[in-house]
């Protein structure tokens, strides 16, 4: 992979305490960047920071809930003092929800939007002044394959990711005048702590039931490769997910049939 960072680069990753965010943070640190790790769990952040130090990198960690703007404002003022700028912002923090739309309590639906949608809105708004000082600054927003097509059995979560897709498309045009590049990432099922951390309503799915799944390391490398090649959108999924996406665009009845099968 082409090296995109050096020792002067500053990378900020939300959701860096686990899964894709953790692997992206590790990969950026290996290239020499200072990496600011954001998440809510200090023990998990400390664990990732230690891994980065062990591989010769320079991590900083900040405990923050992305759904709380004031938490991100505190992180931003620390970065402004200590690092002055952001070159890459990766918005990976997110939480899943499995369950039928009709069964989902309003407060759970609101929590999903608070983290997945408002978390990214807060992040891009609060970090904008630091991104404007960055070198070829880039924002990577992690949505999902299910943000591209409403997925039965996870409709509320899919809607939050559809909102991220739409926000990201608009940002790409709006931030052009600042020279800030925007990249939308839509991964398919990946073996992280996502399922363990998911809100599950009247259902119980575990890894054995879903099977397959990409490794977060492979997804992280595919994302950074896409960024280094100047991609605007990166969709990474398994064959089943790709067939459904293609059918959704070219033949809705086939997509509906396949989605019905997925929902069971
Ligand atoms: N795994 C999949 O199959 C899959 C597929 C498509 C898209 N995605 C998306 O990919 C992203 C990464 O998920 P993952 O698979 O790596 O799951 P994960 O292992 O559960 O990681 C989620 C990360 O988000 C952080 N987080 C959750 N709520 C937060 C909040 N309110 N404030 C700050 N950080 C928060 C968690 O840290 P703390 O607990 O420390 O806060 C954790 O670091 C998410 O946006 C997810 O929706 C996942």
Tokens 């608009």 belong to residue: 170
- pLDDT given at position 202: 87
Proportion of the chain above pLDDT 70, given as a percent: 97
Residue with the bigger pLDDT between 239 and 2: it is 239
- When the pLDDT of each residue in the chain is averaged and rounded to a whole number, the result is 95
Q: Which of 184, 94, 169 is nearest to 138 (CA)?
A: 184
pLDDT score at 184: 98
Q: Is 157 a catalytic residue?
A: yes
CB 147 within 8 A of CB 164: yes
Its pTM stands at 0.97
pLDDT at residue 1 is higher than 80: no
* Ligand 1 center to 118 CA (angstroms): 14
CA-proximal residue: ligand 1, atom 42 (nearest): 15
Spatial contact of 4 and 228, defined as CB atoms under 8 Å apart: yes
**What average pLDDT score do residues 220-243 get?**
96
User: Best of 14, 19, 27, 153 to mutate for ligand 1, by most ligand atoms within 8 A of CB?
Assistant: 19
Q: Using a 6 Å cutoff on CB, does residue 61 contact ligand 1?
A: no
Give mean pLDDT, residues 29-51: 97
Which listed residue (47, 117, 157, 189) is catalytic?
157
Domains contained in the chain, CATH given: 10-239 (3.40.50.720)
């Amino acid at each position: 992979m082409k090296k995109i960072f050096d020792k002067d680069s500053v990378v900020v990753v939300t959701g860096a305490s686990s899964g894709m965010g953790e692997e992206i943070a590790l990969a950026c640190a290996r290239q020499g960047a200072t990496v600011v790790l954001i998440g809510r769990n200090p023990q998990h952040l400390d664990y990732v920071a230690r891994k980065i130090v062990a591989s010769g990198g320079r991590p900083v960690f900040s405990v923050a809930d992305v759904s709380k703007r004031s938490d991100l404002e505190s992180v931003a003022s620390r970065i402004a003092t200590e690092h002055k700028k952001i070159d890459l912002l990766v918005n990976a923090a997110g939480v899943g929800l499995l369950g039928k739309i009709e069964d989902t309590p309003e407060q759970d639906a609101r929590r999903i939007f608070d983290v997945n949608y408002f978390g990214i809105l807060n992040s891009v708004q609060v970090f904008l002044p630091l991104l404007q000082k960055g070198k070829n600054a880039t924002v990577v927003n992690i949505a999902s394959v299910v943000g591209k097509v409403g997925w039965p059995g996870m409709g509320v979560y899919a809607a939050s990711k559809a909102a991220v897709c739409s926000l990201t498309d608009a940002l790409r045009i709006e931030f052009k005048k600042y020279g800030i590049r925007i990249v939308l990432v839509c991964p398919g099922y990946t073996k992280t702590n996502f399922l363990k951390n998911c809100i599950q309503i009247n259902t119980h799915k575990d890894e054995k039931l879903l099977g397959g799944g990409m490794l977060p390391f492979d997804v992280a490398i595919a994302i950074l490769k896409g960024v280094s090649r100047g991609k605007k959108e990166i969709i990474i999924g398994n064959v089943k997910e790709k067939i459904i996406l293609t059918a959704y665009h070219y033949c809705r009845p086939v997509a509906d049939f396949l989605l019905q099968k997925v929902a069971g």
